[in-house]
Structure 1
Amino acid sequence: MGQQRPPTTLIAMLVIPSRRPTRPELPLFRKRVSIDMGHSFFVGAYTKVFFKLRGYTLEDLEFRLPDGPQAGVVSLCRDANFDPQRPDVMLCFGYRPGTYVFQVVDRATNVVVAEKKFELTTDWADEKTGPSLSVVGVVTGGESAPAWGGGPAGPDPQNLNVFPQTGTRRIAIILVDTSSQRFPTDTPTLDTIRQRWMDEIINGVAVGGQTRSSRRFFQEVSYNNFDISAQIFGPYQLSGNFDSYFTAVTRNGNTLWSPNTNYYQACITAADSDVNFSNFDTVLCVSQNTATQDAWPYASIGTRTYTTAEGSRNLGVISIPVGWGTTFETTRAVHETFAHELGHNLGLSDQYTPDVPGRNPIQWDNMHSEDGLAHFSLAHRMMLGWVPAGWLKTYNFALGGSPVNETISLSAIQAGTPPAGRMGGVEVRVADGWNYYVEYRNRQATHASDQELPTNNAVLVTDVDSSPDDAPISRPRILRVANDPDGDGSVLTNGLNYRAVDVSDPTFPTDFRLSVSGIDGTKADVKVEYGVNSRPDPSIRPWPASPTRQWQSPDIEVRNTRNAADPAWFNVPWAGNPNTVVARVKNNGNLAAPNVRVLFSVKNYNVGGAPETPLGEMTQTIPALGTVEFTTTWNPPGNGHYCIIVRIDTFAFVAPDGTLVTEMSPHNNLAQSNYDRFISAEGSPATRQITFVEVGNPYSEATRVFIRPGQSNPLYRTYLGATSLRLEPGETRQVEVMYEYDNSNVFRTPMSLGQYGWITPEKRENEGLARRALKLFGAKPNRVDLAAFIEDPRDPELHTAYRFSGAEAEIVTGRRTKFDYFYKDGAQIGGRVVLDNRRPTGVNGGRVLLIYRNTDDPKNPLTVYDEVRLDWDGRFVVKATKKGLSIRPESLQAYYLPTPGFGDCYSEVIRFEQ
């Protein structure tokens, strides 16, 4: 016998509105509320406040912060750790340091029945684990590694608009000091300091008869597509000493002082009363040195999330000491160094490390050396969106085809739009994601930058690998091509050539040759020669799959019964159920690739460095220019969130003539995708979802990892348990991440609404905008991304954290549901899905998946599904089908697959008697 259907009278009882049980009312003087929370907290962080209640329930109480958003806000959402015997609320801290009070109020009498003082500060002593952070509002996400634009068969160049930068970048220059050494207080001296920094960055300074500034550099290198502006503020006094905000780091026998975890937030908070950070994109913190300590320049790649009076704000940050270029590191000027550091904010990495002897770009690219205001090389200009596709001549030798013998006339890339009959550069596709770029560089008389080229009036050939950075990074993204057999190298003048011989091609010799002639100060003629290529190239594309799937590969897909039934769950693993992992592998070569071996593995939901577990492998042949799906099965355990990794085993085979044929590129053999989707169910109270991301250190030395959250919907809140970690070699740690839906955010918290503006709750005129936000965002999912950045401990001039990895999640909301009942009576199966509240009413849409399981083999249980539709009141009654009984099931469970506006839920499990 299976489990019996509940009697009809019981069903009737379940739809009767429930009544709250009565309890004896204690006299007011005998009621008690005890508050359990800490005393000192970092601005923008969060903590749970626990209570011991006597004579009250949590619903009898209200929680207040009399000082408003600057102190914080209270969230009443509950998560899986909620304990009715020790109830809690979440306190999300505000943006202004000070001492505040948290109050508990009796709702019935409006009397404060308990209160606790706490302090907000920017002091943080724990460099092993950075402070937590709660995020509200629209906070733009972080980009993953450069995407491969164009396509292996298309005419479009790759690496276009990877980090597009147009318009004006707004810089807030903040002068800050510490108790170890204060800025001068007399007005003339301070005015001189302020004027110097505005001149270096914006107005210009005289250098060798020219007027140079960071602003002029960006105008020139971007062809006036990008500009910067700046305002200067301060000085502001930080309360701690120099060692409270900077740590000594030894590199090659030299001591560098690097910003601590709290430094940038401390600077932003110190200036917050004067600066509206919604009006700025980058914050430059100019620090005062001590007699023996100077902070080495440091910048973030991209932006990080900070707490301000305007809400959670993504800002690029830069630190440079006030004495830079005068009393400290006098060989480099502020305008040179700031141009390099702002390049990091725009998304570019250093190109001088790791060192590849004879191949790093040196003064051909500002991201290697800022001396003399070197321009960015061609690939970097393309990534920033300043070189359009029409300026470029493209060759795709990865596809083979007919031999090429053609001469291209290049104009100087610094000169802007090429005149008729000339091009701005050449892209040579070696393989998908791996290209050579050819550019002609010649000093421009009207320019102040790029005047100290290693060789003027010459053609530069670079080797660009745009696959994602994978720490430990083995090479910079941009290198000069390796020296060729005749020693002409990567910098070509009249009569020189670059020649590469492909000895692994079955049609050997297949030569690639660039010959340079006709350089006359206005142009350079480049002759391109290449034979027919006939090698295979099995490849898989890395992330991003799309702007809304930054941390997923377009070539990896997870399929299961749930996402087959409902596209809303596309590419989302179904924990506790069978999944099929699909990898689409393309052979970009025009020779078949026999016996390609693809390896699948899985690791915990992570932002880099987590250990892997093998899932399976598959071997198939891929025809020339063909795409083949490789698959493996996967049954993830429940309550987990994961990352799938797909690797193409290094590919080679022996041709009939005995030639060892290798693939064209080893750089396109790895892809991965992070997966997470949650429903933050509405109810009274609403639910908070909890997960963890894993972070690991792949280096043989200790290092720091920074994690930055972003989200797309202001009606949600994202919690991050630690914004930075210091990890020992090989160490792996987990960071808590939580999500909740709370549409009262727009009425209580300063926040960005993205393109729609900013909410400041103190101003009544914003109420209309807040109500509009409820309509604009109410039905939209929240897309959260977590971008991680890691410091390379091998970097000889540690001054940035490199893009490491990332994860994403989609969070939707819906009314909380449950199975009112679920039964099996002989061949009949029935149940009802209702709203999970005090008056259960049936849901009015959605479907139920009946899950039949046979667990004879616990490592590979057999599972069969039947799909059932609900009636208008959430009920269903069906007969067990032959399909469901085909595996001699041991258990039966129902899963509610919701329509928009409802949360999902599982029934109890019914065991079969065998």
Structure 2
Amino acid sequence: MLTIPARRVPRRELPPFLLRKRVSLKLDTTFFVGAYTKVFLKLRGLTLDDLEFRIPDGPKAGVVSFCRDADFDPENPDVMLCIGYEPGTYLFQVVDTSTNIVMAEQKFTVTTDWSDEQAGPSLSFTGISESFVSAPAWGGGPAGPQNVNVLPATGTRRLAILLIDTADGRYSADVPTLDGIRTRWMDETINGVSVGGNLVSARQYYREVSYGNFDLSADIFGPVSLPNNWNTYFDTTAGKVGWPLTALGQAAITAGDSVINYNNYDTIIFVSEQATGSMNAWPYGWGGTFTTAEGNKSLALISMPREWGAGFRADRSVRATVIHELGHNLGLGDQYKPDAGRNVGNWDPMNTEDNLPHFSLAHRMMLGWVQPGWLKTYNFANGGTPVSETITLHPIEAGAPPTGRQSGIEVRLADGWNYYVEYRAGQSTHVGDRNLDTNNAVLVTDVDSSPGDAPISRPIILRVPNDSDGDGSVLVNGLDYRETDTTDPTFPTDFKMSTSGINGTKADVRVEYGVNSRPDPAIRPWPASPDRQWQSPDIEVQNARNLADPANWFNVPWAGNPNTVIARVKNNGNLAAPNVRVEFYVKNFNVGGAPETPLTADMQTIPAGGTVSFQTTWNPPGNGHYCLIVRIPGYFLPGPPPVIEMSVFNNQAQSNYDRFISASASPASREITFVEVGNPYDKPTRVFVRPGQSNPLYRTYVEHTSLTLEPGETRKVKVMFEYDHTNLFKTPVSLGKTSSYDTTDRRQDPRVNPDLLIKKFRSVPNRVGLAAFIDDPNETPPHAVELLSGAQVEVVTGRKTRFDYFYLDGRIGGRVVEDTVSRQPTGVSRGKVLLIFRNDDEPDKPQVVYEEAKLDWDGRFVAKVTEKAENIRFQTVQGYYVPALDFGDAYSAILERR
């Protein structure tokens, strides 16, 4: 739609009726790309409905949101300015709609400069921006191998290599020199460097280690120039030299916006020129949601120095470091820390990448490259009959095993805790596994795949501990690994794996184990499902609202009302577990590091193989959003001898809860919550808040995208959500990794119809993921962020409602209507009303009774005071509208009993 530019008219020439009207505005002058700010207005003789807010330069400068939040003050009204993607100086205008005359205007500047390392810039974003996915701990579950395909990596990972420089360290302008730099980086990453007669590259490595399931592509761009000196974007303090500062990610993305279409890439590798004084970046991997000309994009980032593997750290190679950092992009963590004395070392590139070892078996399973049918599984956690069996292993490097062989063995110790056995024999045609510590050997690893908050107590993958005869975790012909379980009532219970027949093409592994008889009370951590990433499948919250409407309110706490927390605990052992104690805790809605408050505990007996529901009551205050933790203290049966549970790795779970309705009205509502971020380390460090969302019709706001926190410090970050389908007509909107839609130019893609998008997504909840990543302050400098924790918010929209009236006069009645400006509001005929009767004589233990009332065709309802309500001697009654699809909820006034 064509907008006629507003007219600037000197005040003395204004029409007489406008002379009595004034607009003044309060707006800061400088903003970071993608940030947001409220513009506060003082109006005389005008209302917001009389005005239009314009940014003549369009979405590259910013867009305006008219949604209103709980902080909106009619006496001091505001609109939200969402900053755009291109640095520059722009104009914000307030225009009288009746005359198209500018009533007030102010310039503002968009920049990628940011100097506050204590608190990063804000971010508002629209579109579909992929959230971080937490890997399920249990993989295939009890019936099959665990850890299978929990971080699927298939297809082609698209890399953009972006050469960046700074004001005090520009790239050479010499064309042959630049061509040489581009060639070296493309060769190391994609085309190959000749090593021992083979062309070696990160691409070749990933092709072979994934058996052809995963590939890399890359294009190289630049150089592009950042406007400031090197120390604006990289740390120069001792121990952190080359560490990227807060501004680097968005600044480099913005610098590359003119040459890169970010729809076409998943990972951006920043290759920076060294600064004056030979200052170089240090390799570092992270990611987030960034503001681009294609919309807000979820991108993985890697920062590396141009001289890596040449003039700077000539002992390292670009290809090996890219392999390791891409492992982080795929969701894998470092395996070299903390030092447990049995880290995997040169058996996995997430520990030591220099010699290009292949990923170990558990990592290949997680990435979806080793298939369940390739594995032999033993579930000793559930007892059974004694085992004495020989398995023939095929080299893990060689892909699918032939008939009669397996690629690996999984030994289940407890849910989420397994031993893995693989045969490693480097192949002459490969670029990886050519420098193993011991080639042609069987590797036995100990894998705890349960998620752990930072600081983690152990890496996911370790070598098994040295056994009684010193054979260790790397076995050649004639060696074995053995354990004796002295805590089992059927002691001794021996577990032994012995190797023979290793000949370069196969290895024979004999597995021997006795019957296990121990209890194992267990609860599963997150995720419950792809749609419930940060909730446990074994924790459920019940209350009157979600029992009345389970389809829309399942597992959603009801603040200000009694809730029952249920934890379903399974005894995975084949020995009964009497007097299991389950403890419940609550903490503020958080992404890691928040303090806990205990609720009451529950104690019950769990039969062997059985599942029992433990529960507690919880009355959350009406102004909070929460996280629930369920913990089983280390369990044992008293002796003699005492019988210790099989695993303590499955004794804790937690769930974050938050759900909002962004009510559509004129204007729509903007909902507010706070997410708590904490630092669990004993040193100051930086935490990133990485957001994402699933629905392009919503906008999400995050107050700070990073924070530097003192030891043990926690801070709250404001997060806001709004439904506003008009975003589709204001600004480029990302529809995911591979596409975006610029509805400001509807000719751009005639196949896309915004009305179809609105119809498709309006009734679909927006799932906002908030993952926190933290720098390990004990690593100098940190080279990748670590997952701290996460939370998810579900946001839906519906027409705003209200109680037109509500009365208590012998009977209880009222009417629910749409909240519109109409003098004759429309009654709401769908949904139901919950009547809440309360007696607060004992504030710590309020008595509450709920009764349902049905709505008639015009939103009216009438109900009797029930016997249950009379029995508690209710003092007050309130109505709550449980909304039907496409409506928002509403509370009535609280009426006192006369």
TM over 0.5: yes
In structure 2, what is the equivalent of residue 758 of structure 1? 740
Q: Tell me if structure 2 keeps the 8 A contact 1:144–1:805.
A: no
Relative to the length of structure 2, the TM-score reads 0.97
In structure 2, what is the equivalent of residue 272 of structure 1? 257
Separation of aligned partners in 2, 1:283 and 1:407:
47
Structure 1 residue 249: deviation in Å? 5.4
Q: Tell me if structure 2 keeps the 8 A contact 1:324–1:333.
A: yes
In structure 2, what is the equivalent of residue 87 of structure 1? 77
Are 1:118 and 2:122 counterparts? no
Structure 2 counterpart SS, 1:211:
strand
From 33, 42, 52, give the equivalent of 1:52.
42
From 581, 593, 600, give the equivalent of 2:577.
593
Q: Tell me if structure 1 keeps the 8 A contact 2:54–2:93.
A: yes
In structure 2, what is the equivalent of residue 346 of structure 1? 330
Structure 1 counterpart SS, 2:599:
strand
Following superposition of structure 1 onto structure 2, how do residues 818-837 of structure 1 map, counting pairs within 5 Å? 818-825=802-809, 827-837=810-820
Structure 2 counterpart SS, 1:455:
coil
Are 1:399 and 2:385 counterparts? no
Separation of aligned partners in 2, 1:278 and 1:623:
54
Structure 2: which amino acid aligns with 1:697?
N
Deviations 1:475-525 (A, max 9, x none): 111000010010000000000000011111111111110100000000000
Structure 1: which amino acid aligns with 2:232?
S
Structure 1 residue 769: deviation in Å? 2.3
Relative to the length of structure 1, the TM-score reads 0.95
Structure 1 residue 675: deviation in Å? 0.4
Deviations 1:771-795 (A, max 9, x none): 2101111211111111111111122
Following superposition of structure 1 onto structure 2, how do residues 344-493 of structure 1 map, counting pairs within 5 Å? 344-357=328-341, 359-493=342-476
Deviations 1:578-607 (A, max 9, x none): 000000000000001111110000000001
From 799, 824, 833, give the equivalent of 1:848.
833
Separation of aligned partners in 1, 2:773 and 2:695:
24
Q: Tell me if structure 2 keeps the 8 A contact 1:145–1:803.
A: no
In structure 2, what is the equivalent of residue 13 of structure 1? none
Are 1:98 and 2:88 counterparts? yes
Structure 1 residue 550: deviation in Å? 0.2
From 589, 600, 609, give the equivalent of 1:616.
600
Structure 1 residue 250: deviation in Å? 4.3
From 703, 709, 718, give the equivalent of 1:721.
703
Separation of aligned partners in 1, 2:90 and 2:737:
33
From 242, 246, 268, give the equivalent of 1:283.
268
Structure 2: which amino acid aligns with 1:597?
R
Structure 1 residue 747: deviation in Å? 1.5
Deviations 1:42-88 (A, max 9, x none): 11111111001111111100011111111111000000000111100
Structure 1 counterpart SS, 2:274:
coil
From 272, 282, 286, give the equivalent of 1:296.
282
| Gap runs ≥5 in structure 1 | 1-24
From 493, 507, 525, give the equivalent of 2:490.
507
Are 1:859 and 2:844 counterparts? yes
Are 1:747 and 2:729 counterparts? yes
Structure 2: which amino acid aligns with 1:803?
L
From 34, 37, 57, give the equivalent of 2:24.
34
Larger RCO, structures 1/2 (Cα 8 Å, 6+ apart): 1
In structure 1, what is the equivalent of residue 299 of structure 2? 315
Q: Tell me if structure 2 keeps the 8 A contact 1:753–1:773.
A: no
From 863, 867, 873, give the equivalent of 1:882.
867
From 161, 177, 193, give the equivalent of 2:149.
161
Q: Tell me if structure 1 keeps the 8 A contact 2:762–2:797.
A: no
Structure 1 residue 755: deviation in Å? 8.4
Structure 1: which amino acid aligns with 2:165?
D
Q: Tell me if structure 2 keeps the 8 A contact 1:26–1:55.
A: no
Are 1:636 and 2:624 counterparts? no
Residue 638 and residue 33 in structure 1: after superposition, are their counterparts in 2 closer, same or farther (change >3 A)? Answer: same
Q: Tell me if structure 2 keeps the 8 A contact 1:145–1:467.
A: no
Are 1:661 and 2:632 counterparts? no
Separation of aligned partners in 1, 2:643 and 2:595:
32
Q: Tell me if structure 2 keeps the 8 A contact 1:602–1:612.
A: yes
From 209, 212, 236, give the equivalent of 1:221.
209
Structure 2: which amino acid aligns with 1:543?
W
Structure 1 residue 293: deviation in Å? 1.5
Deviations 1:79-130 (A, max 9, x none): 0000111100001111111111111110111111111111111111011111
Structure 1 residue 756: deviation in Å? 9.1
In structure 2, what is the equivalent of residue 205 of structure 1? 193
Separation of aligned partners in 2, 1:878 and 1:761:
50
Q: Tell me if structure 2 keeps the 8 A contact 1:104–1:114.
A: yes
Structure 2 counterpart SS, 1:708:
strand
How many residues were matched structurally? 878
Are 1:541 and 2:524 counterparts? yes
Structure 2 counterpart SS, 1:338:
helix
Following superposition of structure 1 onto structure 2, how do residues 231-246 of structure 1 map, counting pairs within 5 Å? 231-246=219-234
In structure 1, what is the equivalent of residue 858 of structure 2? 873
Are 1:149 and 2:139 counterparts? yes
Deviations 1:722-767 (A, max 9, x none): 1111100010000000000001111212112248942012432346
In structure 1, what is the equivalent of residue 248 of structure 2? 263
In structure 2, what is the equivalent of residue 176 of structure 1? 164
Residue 406 and residue 249 in structure 1: after superposition, are their counterparts in 2 closer, same or farther (change >3 A)? Answer: farther
Separation of aligned partners in 2, 1:849 and 1:441:
64
Residue 59 and residue 610 in structure 1: after superposition, are their counterparts in 2 closer, same or farther (change >3 A)? Answer: same
Are 1:77 and 2:70 counterparts? no
Separation of aligned partners in 2, 1:755 and 1:735:
27
Stretch moving more, 139-148 or 42-51: 139-148
Structure 1 counterpart SS, 2:59:
helix
In structure 2, what is the equivalent of residue 138 of structure 1? 128
Q: Tell me if structure 2 keeps the 8 A contact 1:249–1:258.
A: no
In structure 2, what is the equivalent of residue 907 of structure 1? 892
Structure 2: which amino acid aligns with 1:724?
S
Structure 1: which amino acid aligns with 2:223?
P
Structure 1 counterpart SS, 2:725:
coil
Structure 1 residue 797: deviation in Å? 5.1
Q: Tell me if structure 1 keeps the 8 A contact 2:263–2:737.
A: no
**Between the two proteins, what is the percent identity of the paired residues?**
64
Structure 1 residue 273: deviation in Å? 1.1
In structure 2, what is the equivalent of residue 5 of structure 1? none
Separation of aligned partners in 2, 1:822 and 1:584:
40
Structure 1 residue 443: deviation in Å? 0.9
Stretch moving more, 284-293 or 400-409: 284-293
Structure 1 residue 146: deviation in Å? 3.7
From 535, 551, 564, give the equivalent of 1:552.
535
From 655, 664, 672, give the equivalent of 1:690.
672
Structure 1 residue 264: deviation in Å? 1.3
Separation of aligned partners in 1, 2:232 and 2:121:
15
Structure 1 residue 210: deviation in Å? 2.2
Are 1:806 and 2:798 counterparts? no
Structure 2 counterpart SS, 1:215:
helix
Structure 2: which amino acid aligns with 1:513?
K
Which ranges of 4 or more aligned residues in structure 1 deviate by more than 6 Å? none
Structure 1: which amino acid aligns with 2:163?
L
Separation of aligned partners in 2, 1:811 and 1:72:
24
Structure 1 residue 857: deviation in Å? 1.2
Structure 1: which amino acid aligns with 2:57?
D
CA RMSD of aligned residues (A): 1.2
Are 1:188 and 2:170 counterparts? no
In structure 2, what is the equivalent of residue 9 of structure 1? none
Q: Tell me if structure 2 keeps the 8 A contact 1:759–1:769.
A: no
In structure 2, what is the equivalent of residue 10 of structure 1? none
Deviations 1:211-263 (A, max 9, x none): 11000000010001000000000001101111100113544xxx542101110
Structure 2: which amino acid aligns with 1:809?
V
Structure 1 counterpart SS, 2:98:
coil
Separation of aligned partners in 2, 1:898 and 1:460:
57
Separation of aligned partners in 2, 1:552 and 1:221:
33
